[in-house]
Amino acid sequence: MQKPIIAITMGDPAGIGAEIAVKALGNEEIYKKSKPVIIGSRCAIDDALKIIPSNLKVKVIKDTKEIQGEFGTIDLIDLNNITLDEFSYGKVSEEAGKASLEYIYKGIDLAMEGQVDAVVTGPIHKEAIKAAGSPFAGHTEIFATRTQTKDYAMMLADESLRVI
């Protein structure tokens, strides 16, 4: 059975999304069940790797067919849409908001094209996406609009609780 390809959008480059993604992909169990790929910016992932102790390496790919899904190597679709000079960690910026939106759009598009099986989203900053001109309150509205879904809701779930 083929393992599902899971796209992980990095979230706001000025936030903790890159670190969360890198830390998650340092867990070998993830690779036993899926083939993860980060959609983000190489500069932020490289910075996160300086903070999170690991032996992980990054392989930049252009196409989902290049995903190997091997523990120890992060497959990264680098949108190369922001540099470290364009944002400050912990600060709201239009540039970081724009970049985070582009990661989400790319993830949705890959899912709609059947190139990935699921999208996991990193944290975004609502003020940053608003500064970038987005009319959306958050991920839910972005997904609904991009997929032309009229009837939608956010669902939170764990083993014992389901909230819609």
Are the beta carbons of 44 and 85 closer than 8 angstroms? no
* Cα dihedral sign, 80-55-4-121: negative
CATH of domain 5-163: 3.40.718.10
Task: Name the residue ranges covered by the structural domains of the chain.
Answer: 5-163
Quick: pLDDT tens for 101-125: 999 999 999 999 999 999 999 999 9
Q: What is the pTM of this model?
A: 0.94
| Structure tokens that stand for 92 in this block | 């709201």
Quick: pLDDT tens for 33-74: 999 999 999 999 999 999 998 899 999 999 999 999 999 999
Q: Where are the beta strands (DSSP E) in 41-158?
A: 57-61, 73-78, 118-121, 156-157
Comparing C-alpha atoms, which of 133, 132, 138 is closest to residue 154?
Answer: 138
Q: How far, CA to CA in Å, does 105 sit from each of 147, 152, 162?
A: 10, 18, 27
**pLDDT band, residue 155 (cuts 50/70/90):** confident
